[in-house]
């Protein structure tokens, strides 16, 4: 049995979780047992060109989790080698996301730009050892000469320049003498290699763009494949864990490190990235959604970004549990979104305070209830947590219930309010219908009911069986709230598997957001603060949105109460 892992929780305390064994853990355990390493050092290396999403969460839960499990260290390193796409906004958001999920890089915060001087010196070293050359081909020509999987590449006509000429040209590139796209530094490997990544890949390109950290110091920037492996080596990373699309890049990772006098040679290990149903996980496509105003921003609650999920009401514990449950594999697959929702419900059920709100109000007047009487009824805040205490509910002669909880001509098996059905009001009394009040067109406007004074608390001493229990709010005491009902952003299980002639945006769900501007909630919610979570009885879990003001509360639906995933698992 494996050791138990201490993980930070949302309130910065520690909870205990059992890590699931996987092939990466097996490799690390063997490396420690054999003495190859005495301490594990991993890293999470995001590019600051967008907000992190749930797929990144799997990666840094893995990297930080493995370090925690083995009393090691995990670095946070920004791969900031593309100044045109990067911004400090993204850097700040990434750090906030990592902290929100409960992980701490301590003093191990790094940037690839920290190593620009060292990377340049290593590039000169490759030139002087005949392993790199300056190429005058345009990017289009480089692609044309690259070849295909069935056809070898063609050597660049500039491949055989002397070391002296290459060194002079590279230094002039650094000095800004040449325009973008006119020259690049390429590794001299093998244009006939079956691996396209080994066909003289570009190591440096000219980009006359200001960098968010180094300003205008550089006009040449290193490529990711060149930068990443050297950064790992300079930081003493033992296990460089990345997603499966980098498996074909591993020979280049190893080749670069083998040519240079670096302090160590980390081992790259690949695992399958997270693909989640009904969403897209490409930062480029998520950026398209933001820039095209298909969503309100990176933190739109429909987005799979961690900022969006945090605003939607997802908890760090639920995401970490989801990451543990899906495990680590070598084969790509799509994980059902319902599993993530299941993990969220499991966590919220234990934590969320209960409250009552009515989203589609239908007024009831309880005819035989005293007109001036206002009762205080006691209700538990969370039946799953006795320590959560109780709250007071105000009950009066006029209340709101949900419109869908009344049916004049119900089908068989209907247990809610109808002309023939008596129902229980949660924490209050039994009521039954006396009269339907209609407008001139015959539409139902309100109901008149009677109540049983001896049923306080929802129970009687006789043998009456009342199967339906409704939530409610007092008309004179309820506060108006705005409610936003969110659904999945896409209608297709895999939006990337598009039909011919269609784009992934053609599968955007037109009903992914429904706004209900006039709803009513129990008065205790007037004090609710942004990010506070509740279970609205019978409706689902909700969170106070950041758009809320003191006098106007906005609630986002986090997730419904229904759990079809768990039922499916039990059947299978």
> Which residues are designated catalytic?
47, 273, 283
Phi, psi of 339 (to 5 degrees): -65, -40
Let me know: does 436 contact 447? Beta carbons within 8 Å: yes
Q: What separation in angstroms does the CA of 24 have from each of 28, 63, 271, 522?
A: 6, 10, 8, 50
Strand duo 540-544 + 202-206: pairing: unpaired
Q: What share of the chain is helix, strand, coil (3-state, %, to 5)?
A: 30, 25, 45
Q: Which two tokens stand for residue 351?
A: 């934590």
**d(C-alpha 508, C-alpha 496), whole Å:** 12
Query: Coil, strand or helix: which one is 245?
Result: helix
Let me know: does 523 contact 393? Beta carbons within 8 Å: no
Strand partners of residue 508: 490
Query: Which residue do the tokens 């955007």 mark?
Result: 508
Q: Which two tokens stand for residue 142?
A: 């480089």
**d(C-alpha 456, C-alpha 419), whole Å:** 22
Cα dihedral angle (543, 274, 350, 426), rounded to 10 degrees?
A: 60
Neighbours of 549 (CB within 10 A): 8
Let me know: does 101 contact 316? Beta carbons within 8 Å: yes
Q: Which two tokens stand for residue 275?
A: 């693909």
For the chain, helix (H) and strand (E) counts, in that order, are: 13, 29
């Amino acid at each position: 049995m494996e050791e138990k892992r201490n993980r930070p929780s949302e309130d910065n305390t520690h909870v205990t979780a059992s890590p699931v064994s996987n092939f990466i853990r097996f490799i690390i355990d063997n490396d420690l047992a054999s003495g190859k390493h005495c301490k594990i050092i991993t890293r999470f290396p995001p590019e600051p060109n967008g907000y992190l999403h749930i797929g990144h969460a799997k990666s840094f839960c893995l990297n930080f989790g493995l370090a925690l499990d083995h009393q090691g260290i995990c670095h946070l390193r920004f791969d900031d080698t593309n100044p045109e796409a990067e911004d400090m906004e993204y850097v700040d958001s990434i750090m906030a996301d990592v902290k929100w999920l409960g992980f701490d890089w301590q003093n191990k915060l790094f940037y690839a730009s920290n190593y620009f001087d060292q990377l340049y010196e290593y590039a000169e070293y490759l030139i002087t050892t005949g392993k790199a050359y300056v190429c005058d081909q345009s990017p289009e020509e480089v692609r044309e000469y690259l070849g295909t999987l069935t056809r070898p590449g063609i050597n660049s006509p500039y491949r055989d320049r002397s070391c002296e000429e290459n060194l002079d040209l590279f230094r002039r590139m650094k000095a800004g003498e040449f325009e973008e796209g006119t020259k690049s530094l390429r590794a001299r490997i093998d244009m006939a290699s079956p691996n396209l990544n080994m066909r003289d890949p570009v190591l440096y390109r000219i980009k006359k763009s200001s960098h968010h950290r180094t300003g205008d110091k550089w006009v040449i920037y290193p490529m990711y494949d060149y930068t990443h492996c050297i950064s790992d080596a300079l930081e003493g990373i033992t296990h460089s864990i990345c997603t499966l699309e980098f498996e074909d890049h591993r020979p280049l990772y190893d080749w670069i490190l083998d040519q240079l006098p670096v302090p160590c040679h980390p081992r790259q290990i690949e695992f399958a990235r997270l693909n989640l149903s009904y969403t897209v996980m490409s930062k480029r496509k998520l950026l398209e959604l933001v820039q095209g105003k298909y969503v309100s921003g990176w933190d739109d609650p429909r987005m799979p970004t961690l900022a969006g999920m945090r605003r939607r009401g997802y908890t760090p514990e639920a995401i970490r549990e989801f990451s543990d449950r899906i495990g680590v594999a070598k084969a790509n697959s799509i994980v059902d979104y319902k599993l993530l929702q299941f993990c969220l419900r499991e966590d919220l059920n234990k934590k969320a305070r209960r409250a009552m709100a009515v989203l589609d109000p239908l007024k009831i007047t309880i005819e035989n209830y005293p007109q001036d009487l206002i009762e205080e009824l006691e209700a538990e805040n969370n039946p799953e947590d006795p320590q959560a205490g109780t709250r007071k509910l105000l009950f009066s002669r006029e209340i709101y219930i949900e419109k869908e909880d009344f049916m004049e001509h119900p089908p068989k098996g209907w247990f809610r309010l109808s002309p023939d059905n008596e129902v229980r009001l949660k924490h209050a009394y039994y009521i039954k219908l006396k009269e339907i009040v209609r407008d001139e067109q015959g539409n139902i406007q309100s109901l008149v009911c009677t109540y049983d004074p001896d049923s306080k608390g929802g129970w009687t001493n006789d043998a009456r069986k009342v199967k339906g229990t409704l939530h409610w709010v007092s008309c004179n005491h309820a506060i108006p709230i705005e409610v936003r009902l969110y659904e999945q952003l896409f209608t297709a299980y895999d939006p990337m598997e598009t039909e011919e002639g269609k784009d992934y945006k053609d599968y955007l769900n037109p009903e992914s957001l429904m706004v209900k501007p006039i709803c009513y909630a129990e008065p205790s919610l007037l004090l609710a603060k942004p990010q506070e979570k509740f279970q609205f009885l019978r409706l689902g879990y909700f969170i106070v949105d950041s758009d809320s003001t003191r006098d106007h509360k906005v609630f986002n639906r986090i997730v419904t109460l229904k759990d079809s995933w768990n039922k499916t698992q039990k059947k299978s």
